Structure 1
């Protein structure tokens, strides 16, 4: 049976990505949805992008754009270095591109440009990097940056009373809009969890791969999930974003 598997924030951890996909045992008929932040952190950001480009030739993949991907895309396009990006993993991403040709970098830029900011499937499940604020859904979001920077959606879902019925007037309209919502961006390790977390109908798949956590993937129908080893053990001579 074909599966849809969501993969969390990778942050340059190619070893973790390969490890997780091997555990998933991806089949040709599966669909992989990546919630963004492929780069910035560990030393193999460019290699992650190259791997995903090749993977997408044989497996159906949906690539959602994260805030770190926006920064990396701008650098590949213009050569300009955003200072905020540089200190939050950009330096490591730039270093990972040493030895890549201009042609290869151009193909990577096209890959970033081809990413989507969100995906809605046939069962009204939403996939995006961070969150949204419009009570009318992502298509009505005024500022697209919100889709890859917002944390209020997750914070709101975490604080909600689980006894609240969806038909209640108090139930947030933006949560009613979708059957389920899958995000990354805000590491679950900040909430003392190394596992994917659910709050109401929101699933957070970012389990802190950029820091001391693991890379996670989840089957959205069965809720089975797989995890890599923690990233510091896979890159023992690096700090990732643990600076």
Structure 2
């Protein structure tokens, strides 16, 4: 059976990515949708990018661009390394590229440039890194950076009355645009959850792999999910983005 699997924020944790692939028994027949933030945090960011480049040649993959990926792209393209990026995991990413030749760096840059801002499938399910503010949908967003930074979509879903029906006039208009919305960016740990979490019609797949949580992968049709070990246990000599 062909599955569609969605993967949360990885943040340089290649060991965790390997674990969830093994535990979910991922095969070349599976369609994989990655929600972004492949880099910054644990020590294997560049290795993850190379793995994903190779993976995309073997099976169908969709790569959404996260805010950390945009930072890394700017560094690869322009040499920009703002302190905000370096202090939020960028330092480990720069270090992971220390032995790379220019041809390899160019190849990785092209991969970042090809990433999508968002994806809508044939069942009107949206996949986006962070969110969008426009009630008319992401294609009408004034600031494209919202795709990678917006937290208000998730905050709205979390704050909603669970009894609110979709046909209510009070139901947020931007949530009505899609059957379901899959996001990352804001760790579910913030609301005390260690697993993929559903609020309204929004699924949050960022289960805190950058910090003390695990990396998650989920079958979007059956809701079955698999998780890695907590990242600090896989990288005991590192801090990730834990400060």
TM-score range, shorter chain: over 0.9
Match of 1:170 in 2: 170
SS in 2 for 1:126: strand
134-143 or 206-215, which deviates more: 134-143
Match of 1:11 in 2: 11
Match of 1:62 in 2: 62
Match of 2:33 in 1: 33
Match of 1:146 in 2: 146
Q: Distance in 2 between matches of 1:134 and 1:2?
A: 34
TM normalised by structure 2 equals 0.99
Runs of 5+ consecutive residues of structure 1 not aligned to the other structure: none
Q: Distance in 2 between matches of 1:165 and 1:237?
A: 48
SS in 1 for 2:223: coil
Alignment of 1:177-188 (within 5 A): 177-188=177-188
Q: Distance in 1 between matches of 2:27 and 2:182?
A: 22
What do the CA deviations read for 1:124-151 (whole angstroms, capped 9, x no partner)? 0000000101111111111100010000
Q: Distance in 1 between matches of 2:26 and 2:176?
A: 32
Match of 1:190 in 2: 190
Match of 2:22 in 1: 22
Runs of 5+ consecutive residues of structure 2 not aligned to the other structure: none
What do the CA deviations read for 1:68-125 (whole angstroms, capped 9, x no partner)? 0000000000112111101001110000001111100000000000000000000000
In the alignment of these two chains, the number of paired residues is 243
SS in 2 for 1:213: coil
Q: Distance in 2 between matches of 1:229 and 1:85?
A: 26
What do the CA deviations read for 1:163-208 (whole angstroms, capped 9, x no partner)? 1111111000000000000000000111111111100100000000
Match of 1:112 in 2: 112
Instruction: State the 4+ residue runs in structure 1 displaced beyond 4 angstroms.
Output: none
Q: Distance in 2 between matches of 1:11 and 1:114?
A: 19
TM normalised by structure 1 equals 0.99
- What is the RMSD of the two structures over their aligned residues, measured on CA atoms? 0.6
